[in-house]
Structure formats: structure tokens, C-alpha cells
């Protein structure tokens, strides 16, 4: 089968209704015309595009903000129209060998890139792209990747990494063919081996690669054989004399394999690559999804993987708390205090959502939220102080906030994504230093792009301080951000 059948229309209509029903139950949701546009767009896609819906590209196609496009995809996934897929891809070569249906399955730490033949980090910031595809329940069948090289590339390489023209043409000039081998199938190919170049035999779907060096070492054979099995490729490395080579391939696996044959001048490619590095399109990373409020609300961590530990290199954490709330509870009584705290949560949650972050949890009167971009977190903290100031002016407890940026582990906390590590403790300790009305920032936050501008535009002062944070021996340089006393100097 080469093409997906057109999804059964009644099924789609039924699913669309599920989408509208779900949106109607959400407290904030894209409006009906926008949902309708998404559905119409999905109808019009070809089987390949249905298989790879990238939210940022969708935003461009439909003229939406990226945030709204992610929101639409997440809601559509919850309603059953779309499936989420997490694709680990290599920023060196673009190979996208690993594809998971659940975030929890993503390899932790590092993985081995078959093309680059080296370990690559698999952190959620840069290496894991979130894509959506039309749900199998709607009759979508994934396009056959073995039809030809183009189909294979669409499945196993990221479309977001673009080689420069010189690199792309050097790679294209070295291409010697593509073949798909059924289980047990043998094939023989004849090709020209150029001296000094090596032939790369690459089966990305099976994570296998072999190299045949074209040189006169031992006057190597003009014939070579390769066996691709479940345990590897045999032999992974051999020599052959330059000139005509007869290559015998055998698929000993129980599933189909696609094989790319390339005879490339790798040294030249590497030099060109250094001189003209590839460019990468913006894409939705797993970190970006985890810091999206809607995803956090609608999807949880898998109960089957309680030991989840995934690394995020660059996460911004925001903690807030109400200052002196114990006194306030005593003065007002539980009933009144509870009402105020509830209102304050709703206010803060609305701000986090509007600034593109996600509330991880609330603890007592405290809120913990995560953001992909430090500037959004600082803007949210400033919004919070601004929104809360009339309340604190009326005698309610002041709001304190701390923001830190650093690496953190994503963990599974009873079916919810939570965060763990020193950065989390640091953000909480900053918040603990703050007084009502203050925001404390760490240095990485203040030095992040456009943060100072944001603070300045909001007419707040930045005051450096050397303070000992909870749990730390030596004092740290922290920054207190607070409203300017008088009108700004003009």
C-alpha cells in the first residue's frame, strides 16, 4: 500500500464533534471558527502531511500565533483527532531514528546516532521534537517509508535541518542508491568505489551502518557481503579495492529494512560542514510542550513509568508565595482566607497561561510554574505583582516571587509531570528571600535575552545583593526587582 485511504468522513465528523465538545468544557479555549479551520486544514492534507503536523508550521499556514497552534494541536490530541509523537533527532545530521508515542519512553541522557556514529545528548530542549499526526482511529495509515528514497527520508530524517548548498550537493553527488529489503531478501548491487572514499551502507530504520573503505590495503576484494540482522551488521567495517564493487546484501531480520548506499568524500564534507553549518527551522520541543499550560492540564505522565527521569538543560522556574499568610488566616478566619487564596490562584494561573508557561503545582499558598523562556517568566512575575498590588494595598498579604533558570529533571509525580533538582531548590530559595511586592532573580535569569529590557520597560529597579540562600554556605549574588519609587527619569 502506498497511499492512505481518505479518512472516513462520518468518523471525522464524529471526531470533530468530540473536539468541539471538549473545547466547550474547557475554561479557556480557541473559538469555534478556529477549531473549524483546524479541521478543514486536516481534511485537506496529503497522507505525508497528515503524518507530520508540526505546530509552528501549522501556525504559519493558518496565520495563528505559535501558542494558539500548539493549543489547538493539544486539544485535538486530547479529543482523539491527533496523536502526539516525540521524535529524537540529531542536530548534526538530521537523522530522526527514534520516535515515541509517550514522552516517558524517550531515551534518557544520551543516545547513539547511527549516521554520525557518536553519542548525542537526548535532552528535551533541542533534541526531541513534538509532532502530531492524524489519529489511526480516523483511518490514517502511516505512509510506506520503503516506496523510494524520498519516502524513507521523510520518515527517518527531520525536515527542519537544512544543509548548506555545498554540503547538500557533496552528499547528493555521493549517493549510490536506495533499496528496500523484505525479511530474508538478498540483493546484489554493483557500484563504483572511488579511491580514498568509503562506501557507507546505512539502514537508519534498524540503526545499522557499515563502512567499506576503498583502498589498496591487502589488495582487498572486489566483492563484499553484508548481513543485516537483529544483532547488528556484519562486518561493520571492511576494505575493498577501488573500482567496480559487487556488493551482496542480506536482510536476516524479520522485518523490512531500507538501505541507503553513499560513497562520499567524508573529509571534504566535514570541512564544508564546518565552513557552512546547517540551519535549523524553529520547532516545538518537548520542553516547550511541557511548559505549555494546556498540555499540563490535559495530559499527565504515564502511570506505567513511575521512575521517569528526563533531563531539561534550560528551564525557567518561577515560585511565588504570600507573605505572612499565617497572620492573615488568624485575622480573617479560614473561610475568608480560603476565598482569597483561591482568587489569588486563579489570578496567577491566568497570568502564567497568558505568558506561555505552565503551573506545575500549588503548595499551600505557593505556586510553582515553568517556562521555556526566562523573559516570559519575568514578565509573568511582573504581571503578578502588578495584578496583586491592589489586593495587598487593601491589607491582604503581599506576593513574593523568585525566578531561576537552569537544568532540571522532569519526573513523574503520581501521574503528573514535576521537576526535580538544584535549580528547583534555587528558585524556591530565591522566593523565600523576597519580601511582599518583590521579585528575586538569579544571575542566569537576569543575563538571559531581553530580560533587562522587560524590567526596564516596566519601570522596575534591579538591585544586586549578596545573600545566603537557604541550604547554601556561601552567599550568592541575587537581584531584587521592585517597583521604582517615583516617576521614571525622563
Which listed range, 94-102, 130-138, 159-167, 473-481, lies at the site for Zn ion (CB under 5 A)?
A: 94-102
From the list 16-24, 105-113, 135-143, 165-173, the region that binds Zn ion by CB under 5 A is 105-113
Q: Which stretch binds Zn ion (CB under 5 A): 87-95, 151-159, 261-269, 277-285?
A: 87-95
**Which range binds Zn ion by CB under 5 A, 69-77, 115-123, 298-306, 429-437?**
115-123
Using rule CB under 5 A, residue 93 touches Zn ion = yes
Q: Does 310 bind Zn ion (CB under 5 A)?
A: no
Site for Zn ion contains 88 (CB under 5 A): no
Rounded to 10 deg, the angle between the 9-25 and 66-78 helix axes is 110
31, exposed or middle or buried, with CB in 10 Å at 0-12, 13-18, 19+? exposed
Among 83-91, 135-143, 175-183, 295-303, which window interacts with Zn ion (CB under 5 A)? 83-91
Closer CB to Zn ion, residue 119 or residue 453?
Answer: 119
The residue (of 175 and 182) whose beta carbon lies closer to Zn ion is: 175
Q: Nearest distance from residue 158's CB to Zn ion, in Å?
A: 10
**Minimal CA–CA distance to 462: which of 417, 418, 419, 403?**
403
Q: What mask of x and - would describe binding to Zn ion in positions 266 to 285, judged by CB under 5 A?
A: --------------------
User: Please, what is the minimum distance in Å from the beta carbon of residue 95 to Zn ion?
Assistant: 5
Distance of closest approach, residue 141 Cβ to Zn ion, in angstroms: 29
Distance between CA atoms of 402 and 379, rounded to whole angstroms?
12
Taking alpha carbons only, the member of 160, 195, 202, 211 closest to residue 177 is 202
Strands (E), 154-308: 161-162, 175-181, 186-193, 198-203, 208-214, 223-229, 232-234, 237-240, 243-251, 257-264, 279-280
Looking at 2-10, 50-58, 84-92, 461-469, which segment touches Zn ion (CB under 5 A)? 84-92
Asked whether 439 and 432 are in contact (CB, 8 A), the reply is: no
Please name the residue that has the C-alpha cell 517509508: 145
Shortest Å distance, C-beta 114 to Zn ion: 7
End-to-end CA distance of the chain: 70
Q: How far is the CB of 94 from Zn ion (least distance, A)?
A: 7
Cα angle for residues 428, 434, 436 (degrees, 5° grid): 125
Name the 3-class secondary structure at 70: helix
Q: Is 116 in the site for Zn ion (CB under 5 A)?
A: yes
Query: Is 113 among the residues that bind Zn ion (CB under 5 A)?
Result: yes
- Show contacts of 343-348: CB within 8 Å, 24+ apart: 344/388, 344/391, 344/399, 347/384, 347/387, 347/388, 348/320, 348/384
Give the binding-site size for Zn ion (rule: CB under 5 A): 7
Measured from the CB atom, the residue of 92 and 139 that comes closer to Zn ion is 92
CB of 116 to Zn ion, least distance (A): 3
Q: Give the one residue of 29, 59, 90, 212 binding Zn ion; rule: CB under 5 A.
A: 90
Which residues are CB-neighbours of 63 under 8 A, at least 6 positions away? none
**Are β-strands 243-251 and 279-280 bridged in parallel, bridged antiparallel, or unpaired?**
unpaired
**Shortest separation between residue 194's beta carbon and Zn ion, angstroms:** 24
Q: If binding is defined by CB under 5 A, does position 168 make contact with Zn ion?
A: no
Which parts of this chain interact with Zn ion (CB under 5 A)?
90, 92-93, 95, 113, 115-116
Amino acid at each position: 500500500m502506498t497511499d492512505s485511504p481518505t479518512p472516513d468522513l462520518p468518523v471525522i465528523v464524529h471526531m470533530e464533534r468530540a473536539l468541539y465538545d471538549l473545547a466547550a468544557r474547557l475554561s479557556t479555549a480557541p473559538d469555534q471558527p478556529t477549531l473549524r479551520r483546524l479541521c478543514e486544514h486536516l481534511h485537506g492534507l496529503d497522507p505525508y502531511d497528515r503524518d507530520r503536523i508540526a505546530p509552528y508550521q501549522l501556525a504559519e499556514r493558518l496565520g495563528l500565533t505559535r501558542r494558539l497552534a500548539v493549543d489547538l494541536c493539544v486539544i485535538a490530541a486530547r479529543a482523539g483527532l491527533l496523536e502526539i509523537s516525540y521524535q529524537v533527532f540529531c542536530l548534526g545530521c538530521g537523522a530522526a531514528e527514534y520516535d515515541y508515542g509517550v514522552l516517558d519512553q524517550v531515551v534518557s541522557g544520551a543516545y547513539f546516532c547511527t549516521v554520525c556514529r557518536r553519542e548525542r545528548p537526548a535532552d528535551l530542549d533541542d533534541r526531541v521534537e513534538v509532532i502530531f499526526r492524524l489519529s489511526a482511529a480516523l483511518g490514517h495509515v502511516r505512509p510506506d517509508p520503503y516506496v523510494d528514497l524520498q519516502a524513507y527520508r521523510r520518515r527517518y530524517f527531520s525536515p527542519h535541518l537544512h544543509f548548506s548548498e555545498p554540503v547538500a550537493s557533496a552528499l547528493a553527488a555521493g549517493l549510490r542508491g536506495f533499496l528496500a529489503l523484505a525479511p530474508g531478501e538478498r540483493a546484489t548491487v554493483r557500484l563504483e568505489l572511488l579511491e580514498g572514499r568509503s562506501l557507507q551502507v546505512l539502514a537508519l530504520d534498524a540503526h545499522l551502518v557499515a563502512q567499506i573503505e576503498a583502498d589498496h590495503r591487502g589488495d582487498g576484494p572486489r566483492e563484499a557481503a553484508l548481513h543485516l540482522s537483529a544483532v547488528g551488521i556484519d562486518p561493520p567495517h571492511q576494505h575493498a579495492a577501488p573500482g567496480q564493487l559487487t556488493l551482496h546484501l542480506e536482510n536476516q531480520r524479520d522485518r523490512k529494512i531500507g538501505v541507503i548506499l553513499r560513497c562520499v568524500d567524508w573529509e571534504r564534507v566535514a570541512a564544508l560542514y564546518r565552513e557552512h553549518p546547517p540551519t535549523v527551522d524553529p520547532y516545538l520541543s518537548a520542553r516547550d510542550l511541557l511548559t505549555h499550560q494546556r498540555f499540563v492540564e490535559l495530559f499527565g505522565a504515564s502511570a506505567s513509568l513511575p521512575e521517569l527521569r528526563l533531563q531539561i538543560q534550560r528551564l525557567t522556574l518561577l515560585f511565588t508565595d504570600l507573605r505572612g499568610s499565617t497572620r492573615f488566616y488568624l485575622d480573617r478566619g479560614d473561610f475568608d482566607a480560603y476565598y482569597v487564596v483561591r482568587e489569588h490562584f486563579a489570578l496567577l494561573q491566568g497570568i502564567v497561561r497568558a505568558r506561555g508557561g505552565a503551573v506545575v503545582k500549588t503548595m499551600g499558598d505557593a505556586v510553582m510554574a515553568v517556562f521555556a523562556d526566562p523573559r516570559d517568566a519575568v514578565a509573568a512575575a511582573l504581571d503578578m505583582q502588578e495584578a496583586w498590588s491592589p489586593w495587598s494595598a487593601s491589607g491582604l498579604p503581599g506576593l513574593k516571587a523568585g525566578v531561576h533558570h537552569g537544568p532540571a529533571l522532569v519526573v513523574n509525580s503520581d501521574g503528573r509531570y514535576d521537576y526535580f533538582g538544584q535549580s528547583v531548590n534555587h528558585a524556591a530559595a530565591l522566593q523565600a528571600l523576597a519580601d511582599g511586592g518583590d521579585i528575586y532573580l538569579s544571575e542566569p535569569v537576569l543575563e538571559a535575552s531581553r530580560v533587562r529590557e522587560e524590567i526596564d520597560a516596566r519601570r522596575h529597579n534591579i538591585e544586586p545583593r549578596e545573600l545566603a540562600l537557604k541550604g547554601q554556605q556561601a552567599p550568592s549574588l541575587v537581584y531584587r526587582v521592585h517597583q521604582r519609587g517615583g516617576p521614571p527619569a525622563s
